[in-house]
Structure 1
Amino acid sequence: LDSFAYHRQVHRPDMFQGIHGLMTTSGEDWAKVRTATNPVLMQPRNARLYLNTLLEINDEFMERIRHIRDPVTNEMPADFHDDLNRLTLEGIVGVALNTRLGMIHKNRDSPECKQLLQSIRDFFDLSEDLEIKPSIWKIVKTPKFYKLMKTLDLLADLCNKYIDEAIKQIEMDSDGKFTSEVGKENSVLEKLLRIDRRIAVVMALDMMMAGVDTTSSTLTGILFCIAKNPDKQQKLFEELKSILPNKDSRLTIENMQNLPYLRACIKEGIRYHPLILGTLRSLPTDVVLSGYRIPAGIDIMISSNLLLRNEEFVKEPNKFIPERWLRNDTEGKEYYIDNPFVYLPFGFGPRSCVGKRIVDLELEITLTRLVRNFVTEFNYSTENAFIPKLISQPAIPLKFKFEERNE
Structure 2
Amino acid sequence: MDTPCAERSESYIPNAIVGYGYTEMAMQEMDEQGFGSDTPSGARRVSGVSSSRRVDRQTGRAGFGAQFRLRFSRSVMPRTQKGRIAGAVALFASLGLLAGAGYEGQHFLLHDERFVVPGSSAIQIEGNSHLTRAQLLSVFGEDVDRNIFTVSLAQRRTELERLPWVEHATVMRLLPDRLRVSIVERTPVAFVRQGSKIGLVDRTGVLLDMDDDSETASKGAPVQYSFPVVTGVSEDDPASVRSARMKIYLKFASDLDSSKENISSKLSEVDLSNPEDVKALIPDHGTEILVHFGDSDYLDRYRKFEAQLPQWHTQYPKLASADMRYDRQVVLEMQAGASVPTNNTQTAEASDPTPAPIKHAAPRPAAKKTAAPERGRPHTKLAAMGQPHFPDESAPTGKHVISSKPARQ
What TM-score, normalized by structure 1, do the two folds share?
0.21
Higher relative contact order (CA 8 A, sep 6+): 1
Higher fraction of strand: 2
Choose 1 or 2 for highest CA Rg: 2
Higher fraction of helix: 1
